[in-house]
Amino acid sequence: MKRIGILTSGGDAPGMNACIRAAVRTALANDLAVAGIRRGYTGLIAADAVSLDRAAIRNTIHLGGTILETSRNPDFYTREGRLRAAAAIERMGLDGVVLIGGEGTFHGASLLAADADTAALVGVPGSIDNDVYGTDYCVGFDTAANCAVEAIDRIRDTARSHERLFFLEVMGRTAGFLALESGIAGGAEELVIPEEEVSIDRISERIRAGFTTGKKSAIVVVAEGKTPGISFEIAREIGKQLNADPRVVVLGHLQRGGPPTMRDRVLGSLLGVAAVEALLEGRNGCMVGEIGGDLRCTSLEETWQKKKPLDENLLRIFSFLSE
């Protein structure tokens, strides 16, 4: 192992730069040369890389986004595109690649490994949705969740002042981790998450019951699901049942940006170091994650083939904490 590459792929997540920084410093401490691959798999196919040294990653730990930039490239889901990527890895002289991203990133890496005998591949979970199997938390989730909690706190002031029903939409296309944990932390009255069927009647009845016990306002946290903006339709239907005039706030990409929290900086650093050390140990085709406080390696195939479940205990306690 003499030269490695690092790339960020898919949606950006706060803490990715902390991970890049940690991986670079670990590599340099072990006499490895480091290439930063720009724009994710788009840059990998094009062999678009820059040399990463200490100066390149200095004063980056506090930055949101990713200094290497990122993309989603449909060409990588074709065998031709992956073979071009494998050829580019060979041209760049890479013995290993650290891939920071989510399910789509690791799915693509699995297909690349199946198509070509290429460099060793080790992943780091970076996703604000926190939906990657093989780790308790992904880099970026804590920052995004805290963004949602701050929004709930601010909206509650207005909801209470105007005695109004609010719907706050957070990201989470296929998973409700953001909605669940920010809903608990923000004291939301109701949740709408992909893991559970939406029941307008049930939500309406629970909100109505709260009003009868003295509540004058309520907040419903909605995971965006497959259709961002779905909270407008849900709010309209529930508003009719309650004879209320609800308001909707969609956080959208606000949750992606901004300085990472301490937790995301530490997690990104920890997993960045672990990824390079895994390559040095001869590991290949795996993702490093943290489960129960311990570092674990999970095969890349498992990270996207297996569904990461919500914490059943958090679901259980939300039901009565929200009353």
Residues involved in catalysis: 129
> Residue 12 half-sphere exposure, CB side, CA atoms within 13 Å?
23
Q: Give how far Cα 49 sits from Cα of 10, 93, 94, Å.
A: 17, 11, 11
C-alpha to C-alpha distance for 247 and 168, rounded to whole angstroms: 9
Among the listed residues 249, 4, 212, 254, the one whose alpha carbon sits nearest the alpha carbon of residue 122 = 4
Give DSSP secondary structure letters for 239-297.
HHHHT---EEEE-GGGGT-SPPPHHHHHHHHHHHHHHHHHHHTT--SEEEEEETTEEEE
Helices 230-242, 200-212: crossing angle, 10 deg rounding: 50
Counting Cβ atoms within 10 Å, is residue 212 exposed (0-12), middle (13-18) or buried (19+)? Answer: exposed
The CA distance from 190 to 235, in Å, is 12
CB atoms within 10 A of CB 266: 16
- C-alpha dihedral (104, 109, 114, 117), degrees to nearest 10: 170
| Residue 165 · residue 246 · CB < 8 Å | yes
Annotate 43-68 with DSSP letters as a single string. Answer: HHHHT-EEE--TTTTTT-TT--S-TT
